[in-house]
Amino acid sequence: MLLEARGLAVTLGGTKVLTGVDFTIQEGEIVTVLGPNGSGKSTLMRALLGMIAAEGRVTRKPGLRVGYVPQKLALDASLPMTVRRFLSLPVRVADTEAQAALTRVGMEGMGARPLSGLSGGQLQRVMLARALLGDPQLLVLDEPTSGLDQPGEAAFYRLIAEVRAQTGTAVLMVSHDLHVVMAASDRVICLNHHICCEGTPRVVSAAPEYRALFGLGTQGALALYQHRHDHSHDHPGHDHHGHDHGDHGHGGHDHPVEAPGQARGGAELGATGHSDAAKGARDAS
């Protein structure tokens, strides 16, 4: 056990944002907290990391090393900052370590670039490299792909799965993004001020609480999926999809890259990938 919370409750500005949350994450596990906007996802993560005051009991493994990747960086234009310098905050690291970290996230040789000149996807990779430099046992990512397009998002989550496979770090992610959750997580927690349901992606996708939380989107997406499946010749490679997925996300979920023409954005359309993945998992089993 890396991190455990019992009866966690947070009140912000007189409003109860979280009540009665029990949470545990094990070593090497990828857990995604999923919920609509304003459901308390980020608050849960901040409470677990001790960034804000919370009631209840939070237990950390002694000496737990946490790597944190924020949703975005509020970089002020007046502050000159290269990639290399950023990697040395707050702990200075040697050049060899910094190079290795950049290589791991596919940003080798980018150390001299100013942070302000990076694209959203590059900045996320650099922030991930910085978080990995502390050799974390637990990597925490707050909606890490909110600024990325769909192929960029898929690539980023593949990278997360790779990092977990190489380093054995546990990963706690926050997302409002349905299809990503299905592809890249061992366990999903649906949150709406309290925990609505939790379990493996397959179990959660079938849970009535999950459907209630995300409304008709799932139904609509299933209809869309079946319609699309009638025309599967439009999507070469699709049939192989389920095999990757059986290996709880290790192999990544590159469907969105293979089918760039598929619908983007919006809860309903975003759910396409997820129900697809769930179907894939059913097919594989």
Judged by CB under 8 A, the chain residues 90 through 119 that form the site for other proteins are 90-92, 114
Residue closest to 181 by CA, chosen among 162, 149, 154, 211 = 154
> What gap in Å lies between CA 276 and CA 229, rounded to an integer?
9
What whole-number distance in Å separates Cα of residue 12 and Cα of residue 136? 29
> Can residue 12 be called a binding residue for other proteins (CB under 8 A)?
no
- Closest approach of Cβ 16 to other proteins, in Å? 20
Q: Which is nearer to other proteins, 127 or 159 (CB)?
A: 127
Q: For other proteins, give the closer residue by CB, 68 or 156.
A: 68
When asked if residue 79 is in the footprint of other proteins (CB under 8 A), the reply is yes
Q: Whole-number minimum distance, CB 213 to other proteins, in Å?
A: 26
Structure tokens at 106: 């596919």
* Per-residue tokens: 10: 């947070």
The footprint of other proteins on residues 40-59 (CB under 8 A) is 46, 49-51
* Residue 229 in the binding site for other proteins (CB under 8 A): no
Site for other proteins in 126-185 (CB under 8 A): 140
Q: How far is the CB of 239 from other proteins (least distance, A)?
A: 42
Q: Binding residues for other proteins, how many (CB under 8 A)? A: 24
Selected from 61, 85, 202, 211, the binder of other proteins by CB under 8 A is 85
The encoded tokens of residue 77 equal: 């234009």
Among 22, 56, 60, 82, interactor with other proteins by CB under 8 A: 82
The single residue among 15, 37, 78, 96 that binds other proteins, judged by CB under 8 A, is 78
Closest CA to 35 of 26, 45, 22: 45
- Contacts of the segment 259-266: beta carbons below 8 A, 24+ positions apart: 259/234, 259/235, 260/150, 260/151, 261/234, 262/228, 262/235, 263/224, 264/149, 264/150
Task: Name the strands in the sheet holding 66-69, side by side, starting at the edge strand that comes first in the sequence.
Answer: 66-69, 138-142, 170-175, 30-34, 187-191, 195-199
Least Å distance, CB 145 to other proteins, is 17
Task: Say how many C-beta atoms besides its own lie within 10 A of residue 72's C-beta.
Answer: 14
- Of 17-25, 88-96, 146-154, 232-240, the segment contacting other proteins by CB under 8 A is 88-96
Give the C-alpha separation, 162 to 227, whole Å: 33
Site of interaction with other proteins (CB under 8 A)? 46, 49-51, 66, 68, 70, 73-76, 78-82, 85-86, 89-92, 114, 140
